[in-house]
Structure 1
Amino acid sequence: MAGKPILPIYPALPGFLMLLSRLFETRPDDDGLPGSQRKLALLVLVMGTLMAVLDGGIVNIALPTMARELQVAESHIVWVTNAYQLVTASSLLTFAALSRRVGRHRLYMGGLAVFSLASLCCALSESLTTLLLSRILQGVGAAAMLSIGPSMYRVIFPSRLLGSAIGLGALVVAFGIASGPSLGGLLLAVASWPWLFAINVPVGLVALWLAARALPREAAQPGRLDWPGAVLSATMLGSFVYGIDRLGHGAAMGEVIALLLASVALAGLFVWRLRRAKRPLVPPALFAEPRFSYAAVISMLAFTANGAAFVGLPFFYQNLMGLPPWQAALMFTPWPLALMVAGPMAGRLADRVNPTKLSSLGLVIFLLGMLSLALMSNTAAPLDVVWRTLLCGLGYGLFQAPNNREMIGSVPLELSANASGVLASVRTFGQSLGTALLGIVLALSFGSLQLALWLGCAFVVVALSLSLWRIPLAARR
């Protein structure tokens, strides 16, 4: 049964192939890379992004087996996932800023090399300590790639295809999120858990070889990295993500509150540092552009609602509807499937029409889907579940690519790497906040999964209001 959830992905292939053919069209006045070189550069980005996203969730299904074979408690083995996510989240802004000092192509290739080496170390680990250290190193490599991935599309593809390229990036991330558990289960059916990591090694080496030949070269910019800002950024994001994780694992509320308050205090110091540093980690000029600021806040709000639903729905399907895990996965599959179909379509349209109108329409549809889920009975028939999750995926797919295009495309090219880091950070922050929202609701005596979905709807309403408000700004671009 492990392979079932990935089967519905195939209907998305025609749209994927149409998107690829458009991305490789070449015109005499195009900026970016020539069409033939774009293919190899795109393959490098897809391979790196897919490995980094997949490794965030593909090992989850193997955690019980790993705990048994390494002879450790299940409460300890969860850090195989947590360590990777924590390091990745806390390093994104730092690596985005570092890319300006060393060049994006060098940073991306360095991330690939570190990720591949760390994957080999994970596969060879014979103790939990060694495995955790290897996962930390793997998270560093993943952060280097994910922090600048979206901005690489800006220099590889011509401006007229930026929306389509970013739509493809959203599709790759959706595929990684959707297929991680299924691919992990499928691999475990024929091999042992170290192969979940070992499979990255040959893929990473091929990607590294292609990257050396295809990625556009950039000159390193003079200046030092803002190390105080980097430390504040890492501790700010790290304490927040760790606090959310502790909340989800039943930690004392005092400990959770202390971690979250520390994150807020560090955020204040981080903003103070940005305003006073000569070369700050995140240039304040980014947020001087209203279109970028709106897109960043809206993305965080939407990812918060998305995170609450992604974590809450499996509990709803299994605990309230009584479905077995594989069938719950099938009920959930229409969401990422619809996103994979709608994302490339929305990306193509965003190159031709106002992307804020498209993303606003997507938020309307997403809100309708979230409302339908919040109103759903635990005795709903399977088809009644499917159309609701399809509606959510369709709306989110229409929203994400145009909003990402607005975010990356609204800033000067020299700031696109920093914008890419902010995009990855608000996504992580929003997903963590959505997870916290669900955990807090379920901890309340009067809490319920429906209440969490209703609160998710409230976040979408705020995001939609801001998205409608910003439409005139984008119309003047």
Structure 2
Amino acid sequence: MGQGAPTASDGLPPRDRARAMLVIILGLTVAVLDGSIVNLALPGIARELNAGAAQAIWVVNAYQIATLVMLLPLASLGERIGYRRVYLLGMALFAVSSLGAMLATSLPALVVARAVQGLGAAGIMSVNAALVRLTYPRAHLGRGMAINSLVVAILSFASWPWLFALNLPLGLFTLWLGRRALPFNPPSTHTGARLTVLDVTLNILMFALIFIGGEQLGVRGEASRAAAPLGWALLLAGVAVGWVYLRRQRRVAVPLFPVDLLRIPVFALSMGASVGAFCAQMLAFLSLPFLLLEAQGRSHFEAGLLITAWPLAIVVVAPFAGRLIGRFADGLLGGVGMAVFACGLVALAVLPPQPGVLDVAWRMLLCGAGFGLFQSPNNHTIVASAPLHCSGAASGMLGTARLTGQTLGAVLLAGIFAVWGQHDGQGESVALMAAAGCAALAGVCSVMRLRHGATVHA
């Protein structure tokens, strides 16, 4: 494939495809893994930098907020200057800021470096799916989305602290290979397609306020009660800003927040399914440690092994789901997956007081298998149902749906624990039943796509 010309509209040749996917997977690895491994290092960071736990958590929050608020602006920028360029700039920023994070000697310096890292990660993740769409032929796009889902599933339970120190050389290698392997896309030809400071500011405010409000309402033991009023205030402020922002976006010819894509029924239903699925997953992920550790009295080691069964099932099922794409309707696959997921969540909710290891493990496997069957087909529909020139916006919405669902799950769990409490298993069971309800709604959204057909744009 010549490196100076735009790529063909139906993917790259097999050899070039393999090199491009290697770059995409490496970028996804550093962005996703770096957003999670720091959680394990927070106690050590707080101790070494003489910071309290409430201050140290901003090492994680700064990364997540910077990623969330810039997904859509950078996806939109990719449609104007090229996904490849945004991806490589994001990787360069990520690598350089990793050096700053490693050399930081104070908490404020580390938080700033992590925010810059999050901005680089947004550049990588905002156009990730769009690059997959350009890399694979339409007939094989499902396999590419399955690989993406598989990598995220593996990283959700892998923890290699040494990778933090390898961000710089790994990022530089990805940059070098990416300049030679990533496909080009033609710039947007839509008149009036521009980024305005006001739109970007409103986008940042909406997501930042909603995220921070949700984080304040998250599960933090007794401290969460004191943080609740501020959390609700921030959340409501974010909703108010969002109302103004989205009304403005409806009048823009080429919106930053892709309200035009949400007018496509298949796309809107897929987004609803994604938000519901990730809301259910977050409800379960946050409540299960309380159930296993406090209500059932298990050790951290045993609880960790049991929870690992969930992503392990996703790793096994995701490639299988990718091969089913094209043979069966995405809406059907997603609906079946969410039905299995909901059954697993209900089974976890009705666990006996002192279940055996196998009693818990098969329920975890059922949840992971259902989610794995759902995710790849749903992501495929989100990307493929958008016109080719809107691939960046669709790609950005993938990450937006995931983080929106996770924030909603944290808020719902805070409300459930406020009413039913925790530690005795009752609140956890209610949360898992609520998660099953969210999964069922996601399944309904998925099945409803069958009425509209699987619109795929070239």
What TM-score results when the alignment is normalised by the length of structure 1? Answer: 0.88
Q: In structure 1, what is the equivalent of residue 439 of structure 2? A: 460
In the TM superposition, what is the alpha-carbon distance from 1:458 to its structure 2 partner? 1.3
Whether the 8 Å CA contact 2:217–2:232 is kept in 1: the answer is no
* Deviation readout 1:64-91 (Å, 9 max, x if unpaired): 1111111121221111111111111111
Whether the 8 Å CA contact 1:120–1:197 is kept in 2: the answer is no
Choose which of 208, 218, 228 in structure 1 pairs with 2:185: 218
| Range moving further from structure 2, 152-161 or 264-273 | 264-273
Tell me if 1:69 matches 2:48.
Answer: yes
Q: In structure 2, what is the equivalent of residue 198 of structure 1? A: 165
Q: Distance in 1 between matches of 2:381 and 2:184?
A: 25
CA shift in 2, pair 1:159/1:70, >3 Å: same
In the TM superposition, what is the alpha-carbon distance from 1:438 to its structure 2 partner? 1.5
CA shift in 2, pair 1:319/1:178, >3 Å: same
CA shift in 2, pair 1:442/1:95, >3 Å: same
In the TM superposition, what is the alpha-carbon distance from 1:168 to its structure 2 partner? 0.6
What TM-score results when the alignment is normalised by the length of structure 2? Answer: 0.92
Q: Distance in 2 between matches of 1:126 and 1:229?
A: 35
Gaps of 5+ in 1: 1-28, 188-195
Q: In structure 2, what is the equivalent of residue 10 of structure 1? A: none
In the TM superposition, what is the alpha-carbon distance from 1:446 to its structure 2 partner? 5.1
In the TM superposition, what is the alpha-carbon distance from 1:310 to its structure 2 partner? 1.1
After superposition, residues 418-433 of structure 1 pair within 5 angstroms as 418-433=393-408
Whether the 8 Å CA contact 1:164–1:351 is kept in 2: the answer is no
Gaps of 5+ in 2: 1-7
In the TM superposition, what is the alpha-carbon distance from 1:229 to its structure 2 partner? 1.8
Q: In structure 1, what is the equivalent of residue 118 of structure 2? A: 139
Q: Distance in 1 between matches of 2:441 and 2:253?
A: 35
Q: Distance in 2 between matches of 1:30 and 1:98?
A: 20
Q: In structure 2, what is the equivalent of residue 11 of structure 1? A: none
After superposition, residues 88-99 of structure 1 pair within 5 angstroms as 88-99=67-78
After superposition, residues 11-22 of structure 1 pair within 5 angstroms as none
Q: Distance in 1 between matches of 2:448 and 2:246?
A: 26
CA shift in 2, pair 1:106/1:127, >3 Å: same
Q: In structure 2, what is the equivalent of residue 79 of structure 1? A: 58
In the TM superposition, what is the alpha-carbon distance from 1:445 to its structure 2 partner? 4.6
In the TM superposition, what is the alpha-carbon distance from 1:322 to its structure 2 partner? 1.5
Tell me if 1:295 matches 2:270.
Answer: yes
Q: In structure 1, what is the equivalent of residue 386 of structure 2? A: 411
SS at match of 1:380: coil
Q: Distance in 1 between matches of 2:442 and 2:119?
A: 31
In the TM superposition, what is the alpha-carbon distance from 1:373 to its structure 2 partner? 0.6
Q: Distance in 2 between matches of 1:446 and 1:329?
A: 23
Tell me if 1:228 matches 2:195.
Answer: no
Q: In structure 2, what is the equivalent of residue 304 of structure 1? A: 279
Q: Distance in 2 between matches of 1:340 and 1:263?
A: 35
In the TM superposition, what is the alpha-carbon distance from 1:317 to its structure 2 partner? 1.2
After superposition, residues 292-371 of structure 1 pair within 5 angstroms as 292-371=267-346
In the TM superposition, what is the alpha-carbon distance from 1:152 to its structure 2 partner? 0.9
Q: In structure 1, what is the equivalent of residue 235 of structure 2? A: 260
| Range moving further from structure 2, 115-124 or 74-83 | 74-83
* Deviation readout 1:17-65 (Å, 9 max, x if unpaired): xxxxxxxxxxxx9921111111111011101111111111101111111
CA shift in 2, pair 1:66/1:284, >3 Å: closer
In the TM superposition, what is the alpha-carbon distance from 1:307 to its structure 2 partner? 0.7
Q: Distance in 2 between matches of 1:470 and 1:31?
A: 25
In the TM superposition, what is the alpha-carbon distance from 1:401 to its structure 2 partner? 0.5
Q: Distance in 1 between matches of 2:389 and 2:187?
A: 12
Opposite residue 321 of structure 1, the aligned amino acid is Q
Tell me if 1:148 matches 2:127.
Answer: yes
Tell me if 1:109 matches 2:84.
Answer: no
Opposite residue 174 of structure 1, the aligned amino acid is A
In the TM superposition, what is the alpha-carbon distance from 1:450 to its structure 2 partner? 0.6
Q: In structure 1, what is the equivalent of residue 418 of structure 2? A: 443
CA shift in 2, pair 1:252/1:282, >3 Å: closer
* Deviation readout 1:242-280 (Å, 9 max, x if unpaired): 001111241433212211111111111121111122332
Q: Distance in 1 between matches of 2:200 and 2:381?
A: 26
Whether the 8 Å CA contact 1:94–1:281 is kept in 2: the answer is yes
In the TM superposition, what is the alpha-carbon distance from 1:443 to its structure 2 partner? 2.1
CA shift in 2, pair 1:355/1:308, >3 Å: same
Whether the 8 Å CA contact 1:295–1:406 is kept in 2: the answer is yes
Opposite residue 327 of structure 1, the aligned amino acid is E
Moved over 4 A (4+): none
In the TM superposition, what is the alpha-carbon distance from 1:283 to its structure 2 partner? 3.8
Tell me if 1:245 matches 2:215.
Answer: yes
* Deviation readout 1:167-205 (Å, 9 max, x if unpaired): 11001111111213xx23xx4xxxxxxxx5321111111
* Deviation readout 1:204-242 (Å, 9 max, x if unpaired): 111000000001123444642133222111111110110
Whether the 8 Å CA contact 1:340–1:397 is kept in 2: the answer is yes
SS at match of 2:250: helix
Opposite residue 338 of structure 1, the aligned amino acid is A
Q: In structure 1, what is the equivalent of residue 98 of structure 2? A: 119
SS at match of 2:36: coil
Q: Distance in 2 between matches of 1:446 and 1:282?
A: 37
SS at match of 1:31: coil
Percent identity over the alignment?
A: 39
Q: In structure 2, what is the equivalent of residue 474 of structure 1? A: 453
Q: CA RMSD in A?
A: 1.7
SS at match of 1:55: helix
Q: In structure 2, what is the equivalent of residue 172 of structure 1? A: 151
Choose which of 42, 47, 70 in structure 1 pairs with 2:26: 47
Whether the 8 Å CA contact 1:101–1:225 is kept in 2: the answer is no
In the TM superposition, what is the alpha-carbon distance from 1:358 to its structure 2 partner? 0.8
Whether the 8 Å CA contact 1:347–1:401 is kept in 2: the answer is yes
Choose which of 141, 160, 168 in structure 2 pairs with 1:162: 141
Q: Distance in 1 between matches of 2:346 and 2:331?
A: 22
* Deviation readout 1:384-429 (Å, 9 max, x if unpaired): 1100000000000001101111111111111111011111101101
Q: Distance in 2 between matches of 1:333 and 1:366?
A: 16
SS at match of 2:355: coil
Whether the 8 Å CA contact 1:342–1:398 is kept in 2: the answer is yes
Opposite residue 300 of structure 1, the aligned amino acid is V
